[in-house]
Amino acid sequence: MPRASRLLRLVAFAVPAGLAMAAVQPLLGAAAGAVSAGWAVSLTAPALGAAALIFGIGRLLDRGDLVQPPWYCAWLLLPGSFLLAGAAAMCIFGALVQFPAIMPAQWTLLAVGSLCWATAIVVVRRTSR
């Protein structure tokens, strides 16, 4: 069984990586002609920016295997990861249709999810022993 710090680093990589993969989908939809290029870029750019920011915060706060995260770290990370998964879903839906409600939903999910995720990562890293 891997150490808890390694699992935490894996999760801290997987969430922004999943968001980045979903952020590329609108560009593929535009290449296929399903949506316009402007629409695709307006969905892709903020999602890729949020993924890079989240990944960067995780890398800055990483202390390796020197410390172990607390037992409750998974519970702290769940709300942010679910909200970011919702933002990723908005990217995927936006690759298929240009529905006006997708853009504000994505921005809201990205903002709140990034804040929740970054706060949880900071708390977990500070309480790791």
Domain spans, the chain: 4-62+69-127
More confident residue, 21 or 7: 21
Convert the pLDDT of each residue in 76-115 to its tens digit: 999 999 999 999 999 999 999 999 999 999 999 999 999 9
Amino acid at 92: I
In terms of phi and psi (left: phi > 0; alpha: psi -120 to 50; beta: otherwise), the region of 64 is left
Q: Look over the chain and give the mean of its residue pLDDT values, rounded to a whole number.
A: 90
Cβ neighbours, 10 Å, residue 38? 10
**pLDDT computed for residue 74 by the predictor:** 80
CA gap 94, 75 in Å, rounded? 30
Residues constituting the chain:
129
**pLDDT computed for residue 109 by the predictor:** 97
Convert the pLDDT of each residue in 38-59 to its tens digit: 999 999 999 999 999 999 888 8
Q: Please report the DSSP string for 95-108 in residue order.
A: HH---TTHHHHHHH
Amino acid at 44: T
Q: How many helices (H) and strands (E) does the chain have?
A: 5, 0
Residue 1 has pLDDT above 70, yes or no: no
CA gap 93, 42 in Å, rounded? 13
